[in-house]
Amino acid sequence: MLQLQKYRFCLAVSCLMLTSFLFCSCQKEEEKPPPRPRVRSQSSGQGQVAVKEEPKIDYNKTIAVLETEKGTIEIDLLYDIAPKTVENFAKKVKGRRYNQAKFYRVEPKLLIQAGAPVFQTEELPIESSDRKHVRGTVAMAKEAGASVSSATDFYICLTELVLDEEYSVFGTVVKGMGVADKIVQGDKITLATLRTED
């Protein structure tokens, strides 16, 4: 009788192991997501695919156009003295980061300052130059005593300011200083764009 019980026990364990093995191996494979449709590119007609590339911008001939609630301000970008700052500013303009940006700091007859509407902690190395802060100068803002400048906040001088060379001057207003004079705190840049001068 004892042997019969041992035999039944071994048979039950063997059946249990066989069932477990079959259950695990027969599980349904995970379903794969449906394939994504492929993007069709335009053919150039000669067996080659035409790839649309973004045109290269000659920053030496680029004007930033700031449409504001008071009118338009045009800024000649000074790539020759602040290339990294100009590239950063242009990238933000192309990325629409200044659209709806507010002039949050206005010191009447001294300067107006704006920045990207979303709080940013990006910083840039300062590109010092001997450019004076005269009326129409555009430069990146920075905290007092900081060794880096903001990557998003810039100011426009409404008069000559006595500031040290530790600011990244990257542009000069070529059109619209009268508009800049009318800006009050809270006014917005409704649209920022770039154009190339011929």
Question: Tokens 């980061």, residue?
Answer: 97
Nearest 5°: CA angle at 84, between 60 and 191?
A: 70
Quote the pLDDT of residue 35: 56
Quote the pLDDT of residue 40: 45
pTM listed for this prediction? 0.70
Give tens-digit pLDDT for 90-136.
999 999 999 999 999 999 999 999 987 665 667 888 898 989 999 99
| Other Cβ atoms closer than 10 A to 102 | 15
Quote the pLDDT of residue 37: 47
Residue ranges of the domains in the chain? 59-196
Quote the pLDDT of residue 33: 56
Q: Which residues pair with 115 in a beta bridge?
A: none
Fold entry, domain 59-196 = Cyclophilin (2.40.100)
In the chain, % of residues over pLDDT 90: 48
Quote the pLDDT of residue 195: 93
Q: Cα–Cα distance between 145 and 142 in angstroms, integer?
A: 8
The winner for highest mean pLDDT among 47-51, 68-72, 142-146 is 68-72
Task: State yes or no: pLDDT of 11 exceeds 90.
Answer: no
Quote the pLDDT of residue 162: 85
Quote the pLDDT of residue 170: 95
Give tens-digit pLDDT for 19-60.
555 555 555 544 555 555 454 444 445 555 555 555 677 888
